[in-house]
């Protein structure tokens, strides 16, 4: 196994055995995003049982809370095994708090291992590894309902269909609408919208609106929203038992421990995106960490899934929040890993498909989000973005826009990321510094990229997503990667063609052995 599939996609068994690969890649200008790839080898039935247990609240188990939850944010047995239809993303299932502590310790060791190799590494973490997913489900529902209520108010003010940052509610009209609904008295509502909390513009945007359910405002316990189906007012937040509140607190504490360790060692944390019924909470908790730890530079990177219909709104809101609160924006842009599962779940359960309708629409969304972030980077030297893509057209688009915006690779504002064992014809040409006479212009201009003889002299910050772990414990992850045969073989044929062309070029030039500059 170590000489075949495992050796191709996995760096090694532990922190020590992966060091030679990390040093080798580093010599060619390619860094690492460490990811401990171990998964429990659960049967579908076992995974389903664990998921249903960990995503169901005490109120739902005793029958008092089930019908009050949106079906999108309820656990559904048919989709209990979150690994189904997912190839490249690792999956955690909640067992108990002790297991979450064990995952945290593993992440801490990853941070230490990354810090030993370089002072600019990343590690990837998943929040479902750090706590009970029930909290993520319920908090995601809260955030979605509150955002939906904002857009309902916007429609009443004739602003339906506008982009998130273009939608601004008139405070006076909003106060009147909320009072008519019986959500709060006029005096209480006036206290919500003060100059101290929302400024003096006379309007409320989605960021202002979101701040009202921030725990710091102490309003969240009293907020209710109208149910679109019944017209009845319902509490925004479900009640948690004492044990559920403790579990929620422990998740936040584990995140804090990891961020403090990363700060100490000089490693950046990349919070992976997950399913849409978890993602609003994951993004919000990541933003809270960014507020605290991204003061001087981006230490925490949020992940934005561009196959989502609301991806552009999510990215623009994140950028604007960082501007207003004066912390450093850090993001990873991906297309997304859960497309088939998300589509099937939405169709089966009966809610709107959150995914863009076509692959072309997702590409357009990715480039739109990326272009917005690159424009921000032009004016904000502390903001950073990871372009996590195997798509050559997307990489070319990024390089072209960087040249147009005068974003130089030496500034290390734009990173590129690919999976270990895939698309080396992108990673290594981007990553290696060449002779001092090569300033990258020939790399940008070369239409034959990625087989350009100057491509290896570009010097862009490039990272490989590096899974590692014992052979038998990484097999569940590898077995799903094996299902990717069609796309994998297509990529392999492309790489084989490029290797032959490169070999012929080296033979013609008499430069058979390539060494890092």
Structural tokens at position 452? 């350009």
Q: Which of 392, 417, 387, 423 is nearest to 402 (CA)?
A: 387
Structural tokens at position 444? 């940008």
CA distances 279 to 184, 272, 418, Å, are 29, 10, 22
pLDDT, averaged across the chain? 83
Residue 490 has pLDDT above 60, yes or no: no
Query: pLDDT tens for residues 128-168?
Result: 999 999 999 988 998 898 899 899 989 999 999 899 999 99
Q: pTM of the prediction?
A: 0.88
Are the CB atoms for 204 and 171 separated by under 8 Å? yes
CA distances 162 to 143, 168, 318, Å, are 19, 10, 17
Q: What pLDDT does residue 61 have? A: 73
For the chain, what's the residue count?
Answer: 517
Place of tokens 């937040």: 237
- Please name the helix (run of DSSP H) or strand (run of DSSP E) that holds residue 109, with its range, or none: helix 97-117
Residue 348 has pLDDT above 50, yes or no: yes
Query: What proportion of the chain, given as a percentage, has pLDDT over 90?
Result: 48
| Residue-range definition of the domain harbouring residue 220 | 145-235
* Alpha carbon of residue 166 to chain centroid: 24
- Whether 327 maps to a domain, the answer reads no
Query: What proportion of the chain, given as a percentage, has pLDDT over 70?
Result: 81
Structural tokens at position 391? 């798509």
Place of tokens 């008499």: 510
CA dist., res. 126 & res. 146, Å (int): 25
Using only the alpha carbons of the chain, give its radius of gyration.
Answer: 24
The helices-and-strands tally (H runs, E runs) of the chain is: 20, 12
Q: Which of 174, 154, 137, 163 is nearest to 59 (CA)?
A: 137
Structural tokens at position 453? 């003889």
- Whether 6 maps to a domain, the answer reads no
3-state secondary structure of 387: strand
Pairing of strands 224-226, 384-388: unpaired
Phi-psi region of 225 (alpha: psi -120 to 50; beta: other; left: phi over 0): beta
Q: Which of 400, 405, 431, 397 is nearest to 417 (CA)?
A: 431
Q: What pLDDT does residue 479 have? A: 73
Cis status of the peptide bond prior to 450, with omega within 30 of 0: yes
Query: pLDDT tens for residues 269-278?
Result: 999 999 999 9
3-state secondary structure of 50: helix
Residue 222: CB atoms within 10 A of its CB come to: 12
Dihedral, 71, 73, 74, 78 alpha carbons, nearest 10:
80
CA dist., res. 425 & res. 497, Å (int): 11
Structural tokens at position 367? 């480039």
- Whether 229 maps to a domain, the answer reads yes
- Whether 487 maps to a domain, the answer reads no
Q: What pLDDT does residue 441 have? A: 38
Residue 452 has pLDDT above 70, yes or no: no
CA dist., res. 46 & res. 41, Å (int): 9
- Whether 374 maps to a domain, the answer reads no
Total of domains in the chain? 1
Place of tokens 């990258």: 440
Residue 512 has pLDDT above 90, yes or no: no
- Whether 40 maps to a domain, the answer reads no
Residue 94 has pLDDT above 70, yes or no: yes
Structural tokens at position 329? 């924006």
- Please name the helix (run of DSSP H) or strand (run of DSSP E) that holds residue 482, with its range, or none: helix 471-482
Q: What pLDDT does residue 451 have? A: 37
Residue 296 has pLDDT above 60, yes or no: yes
- Whether 167 maps to a domain, the answer reads yes
Residue 481 has pLDDT above 70, yes or no: no
CA distances 349 to 74, 197, 352, 357, 434, Å, are 10, 39, 10, 18, 54
- Whether 185 maps to a domain, the answer reads yes
Of residues 435 and 218, more confidently modeled: 218
Structural tokens at position 265? 């060692």
Place of tokens 């109120």: 59
Which whole number is the average pLDDT over 470-483?
Answer: 74
3-state secondary structure of 435: coil
């Amino acid at each position: 196994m170590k000489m075949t599939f495992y050796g191709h996609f996995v760096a090694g068994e532990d922190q020590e055995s992966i060091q030679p690969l990390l040093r080798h890649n580093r010599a060619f200008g390619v860094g690492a995003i460490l990811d401990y790839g171990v998964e429990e080898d659960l049967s579908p039935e076992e995974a389903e049982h664990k998921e249903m247990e960990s995503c169901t609240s005490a109120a739902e188990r005793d029958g008092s809370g089930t019908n009050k939850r949106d079906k999108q944010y309820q656990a559904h047995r048919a989709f209990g095994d979150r690994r189904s239809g997912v190839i490249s993303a690792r999956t955690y299932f909640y067992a108990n708090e002790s297991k979450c502590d064990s995952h945290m310790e593993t992440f801490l060791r990853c941070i230490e291992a990354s810090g030993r190799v370089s002072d600019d590494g990343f590690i990837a973490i998943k929040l479902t590894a750090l706590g009970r997913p029930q909290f993520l489900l319920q908090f995601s529902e809260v955030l979605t309902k509150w955002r939906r209520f904002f857009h309902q108010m916007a429609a009443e003010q004739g602003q339906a269909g506008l982009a998130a940052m273009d939608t601004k509610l008139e405070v006076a009209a909003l106060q009147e609408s909320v009072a008519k609904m019986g959500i709060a008295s006029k005096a209480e509502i006036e206290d919500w919208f003060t100059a101290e909390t929302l400024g003096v513009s006379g309007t409320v945007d989605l960021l202002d609106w979101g701040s009202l359910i921030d725990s710091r405002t102490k309003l969240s316990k009293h907020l209710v929203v109208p149910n679109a189906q019944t017209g009845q007012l319902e509490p925004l937040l479900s009640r948690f038992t004492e044990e559920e509140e403790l579990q929620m607190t422990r998740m936040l504490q584990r995140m804090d421990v990891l961020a403090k360790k990363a700060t100490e060692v000089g490693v950046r944390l990349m919070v992976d995106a997950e399913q849409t019924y978890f993602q609003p909470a994951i993004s919000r908790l990541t933003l809270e960490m960014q507020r605290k730890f991204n003061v001087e530079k981006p230490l925490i990177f949020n992940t934005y899934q561009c196959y989502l219909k609301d991806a552009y709104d999510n990215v623009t809101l994140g950028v604007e929040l960082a501007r207003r609160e004066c912390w450093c924006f850090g993001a990873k842009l991906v297309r997304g890993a859960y497309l088939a599962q998300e589509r099937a779940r939405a169709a089966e359960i009966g809610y709107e498909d959150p995914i863009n309708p076509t692959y072309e629409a997702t590409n357009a969304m990715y480039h739109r989000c990326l272009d917005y972030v690159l424009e921000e980077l032009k004016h904000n030297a502390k903001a950073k973005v990871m372009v996590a893509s195997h798509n050559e057209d997307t990489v070319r688009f990024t390089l072209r826009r960087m040249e147009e915006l005068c974003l130089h690779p030496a500034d290390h504002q734009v990173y590129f990321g690919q999976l270990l064992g895939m698309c080396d014809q992108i990673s290594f040409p981007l990553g290696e510094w060449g002779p001092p006479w090569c300033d990258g212009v020939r790399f940008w201009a070369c239409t034959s990229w990625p087989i350009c003889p100057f491509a290896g002299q570009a010097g862009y910050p490039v990272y490989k997503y590096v899974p590692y772990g014992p052979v038998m414990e990484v097999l569940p992850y590898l077995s799903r990667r094996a299902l990717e045969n069609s796309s994998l073989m297509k990529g392999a044929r492309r790489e084989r063609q490029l290797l032959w062309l490169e070999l012929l070029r080296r033979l013609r030039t008499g430069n058979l052995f390539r060494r890092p500059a």
